[in-house]
Chain A
Amino acid sequence: MDREQLMAALAQHDADPGAVMAAFHAKRRRRARNRSLAVCGGLAAVGIVAATAVLQPWASAPSPTPAGRPSGLPNSSPASGCASVPLPETLATARQSGASVIVAVGSLTGKTAVSDGQVYYQMLLRPVRTLSGPPIASGSTGWIGSTRGPAGPIPSADAGALWGADGRLFAIAWPARLTGTTVGPVLHVAPVAGSRVILSSAGCWDSTGLPSRPYHGRLAEIPGSKSYMRAAAGGFHAVPLTTIEQLASSAARHA
């Protein structure tokens, strides 16, 4: 290689000044807005804690699940990020509600939709193996929720969605009628790597009580979501797929 070749190679990816300034201004605005939201959220949290403390003596039994929303769906409440629901309970709830538990290979189609202020990405599933629940045909499509609203990231939402680098995933497929969304069936996904399912805060999966070991390999995410980075903070837990399949079968028997 000579110097001219090196210089030519270095000069072929110059950033566009207009795009840089547009991104800079957009990030500045987003940062300022997030700061405002954080301040407002903090004040709201203080208010809620104070109100709870005052009302607690007269409170009745807690109602953890909002009406019409299955409790097995990932909780992306801005206040908590993730609810702690062990996987067996999540699967049991899913089956009792009529959702399907599947293993599939998924790929984003590039289509997006907005429902209830959340952006969803369409995913094509091919092939599909239904572990329990109503069969899902190979070639079906579903929607995965991102942690972005139309105006940008949703503060304090969970880490988003991850699936295998080769597209393999484990999922609960929720029919549209159960999710209250207008987009269609919603997929609650977890990556499959080798013979293990990778559980993490991406999707709010809880591996408590399951045999697992740490996982550090590559995974796929919605472009720009930074789900991997955010979920990595809490760690990835690789649970044998056979264990998950047994849980799905057990949930089917009790449904």
Chain B
Amino acid sequence: MAFTDPKDGAMTLDDFLRAELSALTRFSGALAGDRHLAEDILSDALLKVAAQWRRISALDDPAAYVRRVVVTTYLSDRRKTQRRQTVPAADVPSLERPGPDASAAVIARDEVTGLLAQLPGQQRAAIVLRYLLDETDEHIAQALGCSPGTVRSHLFHARATLRLTASARADKE
């Protein structure tokens, strides 16, 4: 089923989704930190995209624009639901554990997930765009609607919260 009448040579939304849906599902999942919320956010974002597809398809990089729509949808949803969400009261323990065994990886992943959940929306989006998509500060700034300096500030604070190791920071800095 075509979402729009394709103009000569123009990419339809169907074509776009065939190529990009997999990456978008990964992106929205990393942003939301919850599969069902990610599906809700991405489908909402696609609704907005579908309504403007003719204009979006003419852009140089439609995928970047769609990711920006996903980010704004995620941030908007987060603002709306923040007051209603239950915040865990327990302190998340540190990641330093001597002598990792078979369960250590699972425990560590849960703890990383807990640390990610503590990040404000803008910081989480900056981390996802930087580490999952290798975006530059300038591109992240465009997606978040802020300055590159603010992006660097978001990343600095997010890394501190996540206790990223020096080597992990060096990968990207």
Let me know if A14 and B163 touch, CB within 8 A. Answer: no
Least Cβ distance of B151 to chain A in Å?
Answer: 17
A229: B residues at CB distance < 8 A:
80
Let me know if B128 and A10 touch, CB within 8 A. Answer: yes
Residues B18-68 near A (CB distance < 8 A): 21-22, 24-26, 28-30, 32-35, 38-40, 42-44, 46-47, 50
Given contacts A2-B167, A14-B26, A15-B29, contact A23 B40 (CB under 8 A): yes
Which of A5, A17, A21, A218 has the most chain B CB atoms closer than 10 A to its own CB? A5
Name the contact of B33 in the complex, choosing from A7, A13, A19, A23 (C-beta under 8 A).
A13
Selected A-B contacts with CB under 8 Å, 7 pairs: A1-B115, A1-B162, A3-B165, A9-B109, A11-B29, A11-B132, A23-B39
Residues B82-125 near A (CB distance < 8 A): 83-84, 86, 95, 108-109, 112-113, 115-116
B167: A residues at CB distance < 8 A:
2-3
> How far apart are the CA atoms of A27 and B73 in the complex, in Å?
15
A87-101: contact bitstring with B at CB < 8 Å (1 yes, 0 no)?
000000000000000
Least Cβ distance of A1 to chain B in Å?
Answer: 5
> How far apart are the CA atoms of A6 and B167 in the complex, in Å?
13
Q: Which residues of A contact B (CB under 8 A)?
A: 1-3, 5-17, 19-21, 23-24, 27-28, 31, 165, 216-219, 221, 228-229
B17: A residues at CB distance < 8 A:
21
- The number of inter-chain residue pairs (CB within 8 angstroms) is 116
Let me know if A15 and B46 touch, CB within 8 A. Answer: no
Given contacts A1-B164, A13-B38, A20-B25, contact A27 B109 (CB under 8 A): no
Decide yes or no whether B16 CB sits under 8 A from chain A: no
Name the contact of B108 in the complex, choosing from A5, A17, A20 (C-beta under 8 A).
A5
Residue of A nearest to B26 (CB): A14
Let me know if A20 and B21 touch, CB within 8 A. Answer: yes
Given contacts A1-B168, A10-B30, contact A17 B113 (CB under 8 A): no
Let me know if B22 and A17 touch, CB within 8 A. Answer: yes
Let me know if A16 and B108 touch, CB within 8 A. Answer: no
Q: Which residues of B contact A (CB under 8 A)?
A: 17, 21-22, 24-26, 28-30, 32-35, 38-40, 42-44, 46-47, 50, 80, 83-84, 86, 95, 108-109, 112-113, 115-116, 127-128, 131-132, 162-165, 167-168, 171
Let me know if A20 and B42 touch, CB within 8 A. Answer: yes
> How far apart are the CA atoms of A31 and B50 in the complex, in Å?
13
Name the contact of B113 in the complex, choosing from A12, A16, A27, A221 (C-beta under 8 A).
A12
Let me know if B171 and A7 touch, CB within 8 A. Answer: no
Least Cβ distance of B105 to chain A in Å?
Answer: 8
Let me know if B162 and A6 touch, CB within 8 A. Answer: yes
B171: A residues at CB distance < 8 A:
3
A5: B residues at CB distance < 8 A:
95, 108-109, 112
Let me know if B50 and A28 touch, CB within 8 A. Answer: yes
Least Cβ distance of B16 to chain A in Å?
Answer: 13
Name the contact of B25 in the complex, choosing from A9, A17, A217, A221 (C-beta under 8 A).
A17
Residue of A nearest to B168 (CB): A3
A20: B residues at CB distance < 8 A:
21, 24-25, 28, 39, 42-43, 46
